[in-house]
Chains A and B, each alone.
Chain A
Amino acid sequence: MSAYKLETAPFDPRFPNQNVTRYCYQSYIDFHRCQKKRGEDFAPCNYFQKVYKSMCPNAWVEKWDDQRESGTFPGRI
């Protein structure tokens, strides 16, 4: 994430079409599953975090974070 090179979430062949809703959701879930399984300090999990932060609208992320906190998040983490 240097100041001189622009980089963003890469093309993911699992989601080749116009609708990338699932790419955002899947990356969010994968990050939290990775953290839960490997611990908060496991650095490779941050790849998923970078992807979901780039792909997911902030409002969706906030809503899901609130849901996780209150135990009402519909996905399995």
Chain B
Amino acid sequence: MSTWANLGLQDSASPLMEQLIFFHDHAFMLFFNNYVNRFLLHGQRLLYLLDEINEPSVTLKSIGHQWYWSYEYSDFNNIEFDSYMIPTNELSTDGFRLLDVDNRIVLPMNSQIRILVTAADVIHSWTVPALGVKVDGTPGRLNQTNFFINRPGLFYGQCSEICGANHSFMPIVIESVPVNYFIKWISSNNSSLDDWKQVLVS
């Protein structure tokens, strides 16, 4: 339930999200000061920034299923894996309940990333608040968005479109690593991939 306790946004991990946070906090402050909408121009700048065309260096496909996400990296060798939430009874004591997954998405930091979201059955929505990304995945449609991660770390999100019984239990976790680590991971297809689902085409 929304209360005054959750007014703020998560720390940003993307330059666009940083701008969104500035706008949000600025607008909030002015709203409570009863000033005229001086931030209209600010908002327009942000809208244009969000529509910038940029050349991605990696494409990640994310397919929503009931009730897990599957990811495909097909730019080099064909890596695919499923990402299920870790059930609470199997969670380690330092794990995040309802947020941790078995296989995380590994992405390079400081690179423009294109993500294509679709779904296999019903409508899902792929979101990571720290990056300012929310994209619906609809069966038969491929939605594209771009983002840029400017620091390493783990970023969490949850499915944002009601999709059945376990809609609240199909989270998203991005592990952002330096580019050379990412290249090493891609070429060696290491243990963070779901074993039986791993497909290698050289």
Q: Is B153 an interface residue (CB 8 A)?
A: no
Contact of B53 among A16, A19, A20, A57 (CB under 8 A): A16
Which of A4, A6, A55 is B116 in contact with, Cβ under 8 Å? A55
A72 CA to B61 CA, complexed, in Å: 26
Minimum C-beta distance from A65 to chain B (A): 14
A 1-39 binary contact with B (CB < 8 Å = 1; else 0): 101101111110000101111011000000000000000
Partner-contacting stretch, out of B29-37, B69-77, B125-133: B69-77
Interface size on B, residues (CB 8 A): 33
Interfacial chain A residues near B63, Cβ < 8 Å: 57, 59
A58: nearest residue on chain B (CB-CB)? B72
Does B21 lie at the interface of the complex (its beta carbon under 8 Å from any beta carbon of A)? no
> A54 contacts B142, CB within 8 Å?
no
Q: How many Å from the CB of A20 to the closest CB on chain B?
A: 4
Query: How many chain A residues touch B (Cβ–Cβ < 8 Å)?
Result: 23
Q: Is the CB of B142 within 8 A of A21?
A: yes
Which residues of chain A are within 8 angstroms of B56 by Cβ–Cβ distance? 8, 11
Q: How many A-B residue pairs have CB under 8 A?
A: 70
A3–B180 Cα distance when bound, in Å, is 10
- By secondary structure, the B interface counts as mixed
A63 to chain B, nearest CB (A): 11
Contact between chains at B108 and A58 (CB < 8 Å)? no
Q: Does B175 contact A (CB under 8 A)?
A: no
- Shortest C-beta distance, B135 to chain A (Å), equals 8
Nearest CB on B from A16, distance (A): 7
- A57 touches which of B61, B144, B187 (Cβ 8 Å): B61
| Residue in B58, B108, B111, B199 whose Cβ sees the most chain A Cβ within 10 Å | B58
B144 touches A18 (CB 8 A): yes
**Residue B55 CB within 8 A of the other chain:** yes
B109-134 residues with Cβ-Cβ distance < 8 A to A are: 111, 114, 116, 118, 120
Structural contact, A54 and B59, CB atoms closer than 8 A: yes
- Is the pair B179, A21 in contact by a Cβ cutoff of 8 Å? no
Chain B contacts for A7, CB-based, 8 A: 57, 75
Other contacts beyond A18-B143, A18-B145: 14, CB < 8 A: A3-B183, A4-B183, A8-B114, A11-B54, A11-B55, A19-B141, A19-B144, A21-B140, A21-B141, A53-B75, A57-B61, A57-B118, A58-B78, A59-B63
A residues contacting B by CB (< 8 A) are 1, 3-4, 6-11, 16, 18-21, 23-24, 53-59
Chain B residues close to A by CB (< 8 Å): 53-59, 61, 63, 72, 74-76, 78, 80, 108, 111, 114, 116, 118, 120, 135, 140-145, 179, 182-183, 187, 199
